[in-house]
Structure 1
Amino acid sequence: MNTPPALNGAIAANKVHHWLRAWYGADVPEAIDLDVVRQMLPTTPYGKGVREIRPPVQFNDDAFEGLLARDPGDPQVWGIAYNGSVSPERQRFTIAHELGHFVLHRDRQPRFHCDKESVHSGHETMRLIEREADDFASNLLMPGDRLREWISNRRIDLHVLSAIAKRFQVSFEALCIRFIKFTPQRAILVYWDNGYAKYEWRSSSAVRTRARIRRSGDPQEPLPGTLAADASVEQAWDGVEMSAAIWCPEEAPHMKLREFKHSYTSRDRVLTLLLLESAEPRAWDRSWQDGETLDAVNWRQ
């Protein structure tokens, strides 16, 4: 007898989508109604032993992201709090994240307090469950089948990705990260914070072809000759073509990439998207087949 796969964020979110289709009796809206999910979950196998998840409440604190907690006076009731001072899109992701804790982790502890750095700076168990809850939220809010349909056979630029983010009612950054996981293109996304690389995400095809950005120091700074290093360029949503070797040291000089740039309002945070020409995995380097599956790099520990 085959053992069913362990429950994770993607599997759980896909099952919730299955229940949502039954709930609506038709296609699920592009922008998931999280209040419907909240009310529905206690009636499903994922809500066993729970009578109610109360409506989320705001709690405004710069260091606070979200909270899931069991009512100490009634173990069949759970509640969610979120930071109401952030964008509506961020609020939606936080609430979906807390619902992920409800589905995946509530049997482990009665309270989950999520701050902005817990996914990166907490102990290993905390980092794992925070990432699992993020994975649930991403799959719930941005289902892969729809995203794959919307990006297939299209020339991708930041205008296209921004439009998709609006359809899902998620942040531009969250959509870009999700895009990296589903695009068949060789793609790299870098998040810059105060002039230094904080995170790098690579698509599966970028991983297979060993495409990664050139290390220039620790902490990593934007590379000379790139839009990321040019402070006079705030936005490049249509992209600029250049030699891929400027960014990626193992790329041949004739290979090209298109660099896109988005600067946030404060200009101290920047997203760089690199779309590289197609290439086959290098015949002399098949190590990715033996276990390199990570698509994200944390540059600043």
Structure 2
Amino acid sequence: MPEAIDLDVVRQMLPGTPYGTGVREIRPPVPFDDEAFEGMLARNPDDQEVWGIAYNGKTRHERQRFTIAHELGHFILHRGQQWSFNCDKQSVHTGIATLRDIEREADDFASNLLMPGDLLRDWISNQRIDLHVLSAIAKRFQVSFEALCIRFIKFTTQRAILVYWDNGYVKYEWRSSSAVKTRARIRRNADPQEPLPGTLAADASVDQEWDGTEMSAAIWCPEEARHMKLREFKHSFGARDRVLTLLLLESAEPRAWDRSWQDGESFDSFDQFVSNGQLPVR
């Protein structure tokens, strides 16, 4: 079973690697209790060989770990560009392309650091997937359930679609590579998109369905043949205003006329970081 990456060991070892050239120390992360604050990486103005990390101490443990990993991503990828990084929830959506790009790169790095793709791929390929399995992996990696589900979509070989609903409307939709190859996509019924009739997502009486309910895939995906099935899973957060839907579809062949999926995957920044050695786990 995968274990959690020890971020403190990563922090301590970086100055002694080529990725920490010119840096003597990254000080232990410190909490900053301000709800509007997410995280920060900054160079010590009095000692240019020392860097520091701060994070929101009021957030959940999993969020704190992601923030620290995000700041380590800035350290490795971007510290040559500027001496401080003030990260908040809006940075990734800003209209400033450079800022938006580096924040997304740091997010990608954090995801790869905390949920190594090789470990996740090995684990999910050996068992029947449901939300119990994904929740257990999230706990072992010490990441949020939502973050693990997104990561699952990237690495699963199954045709899978993940939809996040916020107050009854789609906030985002992720499709696995095999879902893209076979043009599996959900039916559009409004703008903004609302849950489809006949689905668990639309059933207010169902808060959780972690084992999965089988139904015709065409209920969700109009281009699927009538004989195709899928399993729908549902997880409602807290006040039930936020909901995750996971759809696992039966296998199908790629659509012969659609070759857009052949563009290939991008090379993760984290993959480049670890290509010269292993990171510690605990």
Task: Indicate conservation of the 8 Å contact 2:210/2:235, yes or no.
Answer: yes
Residue 187 of structure 1 aligns to which amino acid in structure 2? A
Residue ranges of structure 1 left out of the alignment (5+ in a row): 1-28, 295-301
> In the alignment, which of 63, 69, 72 is matched to residue 90 of structure 1?
63
Residue 47 of structure 2 aligns to which amino acid in structure 1? D
Task: Indicate conservation of the 8 Å contact 1:207/1:293, yes or no.
Answer: no
Distance 2:225 2:90 in 1: 38
2:109 counterpart of 1:167:
no
Task: Indicate conservation of the 8 Å contact 2:39/2:86, yes or no.
Answer: yes
Residue 70 of structure 1 aligns to a residue in which SS?
A: strand
Go from structure 1 to structure 2 and tell me whether the alpha carbon gap of 1:292 and 1:243 turns closer, same or farther (over 3 Å shift).
farther
Q: Structure 1 residue 292: deviation in Å?
A: 8.3
Q: Which runs of 4+ in 1 moved over 3 A?
A: 291-294
Distance 2:120 2:40 in 1: 28
Aligned counterpart, 2:212: 239
Count residues with an aligned counterpart.
265
Residue 128 of structure 2 aligns to which amino acid in structure 1? R
Deviations 1:247-282 (A, max 9, x none): 112111211111100001121111110101100111
Residue 225 of structure 2 aligns to which amino acid in structure 1? A
2:29 counterpart of 1:50:
no
Deviations 1:21-76 (A, max 9, x none): xxxxxxxx811111111111011000001111111111122222111111112111
Residue ranges of structure 2 left out of the alignment (5+ in a row): 267-282
> In the alignment, which of 70, 79, 82 is matched to residue 106 of structure 1?
79
> In the alignment, which of 104, 107, 121 is matched to residue 134 of structure 1?
107
Q: Structure 1 residue 101: deviation in Å?
A: 0.5
2:37 counterpart of 1:64:
yes
Q: Structure 1 residue 194: deviation in Å?
A: 1.2
Normalising by structure 2, report the TM-score. 0.90
Deviations 1:210-254 (A, max 9, x none): 111112222111111111111111000001111111111211121
Distance 2:219 2:178 in 1: 19
Distance 2:246 2:35 in 1: 28
Residue 106 of structure 2 aligns to a residue in which SS?
A: helix
Distance 1:72 1:135 in 2: 28
Aligned counterpart, 1:217: 190
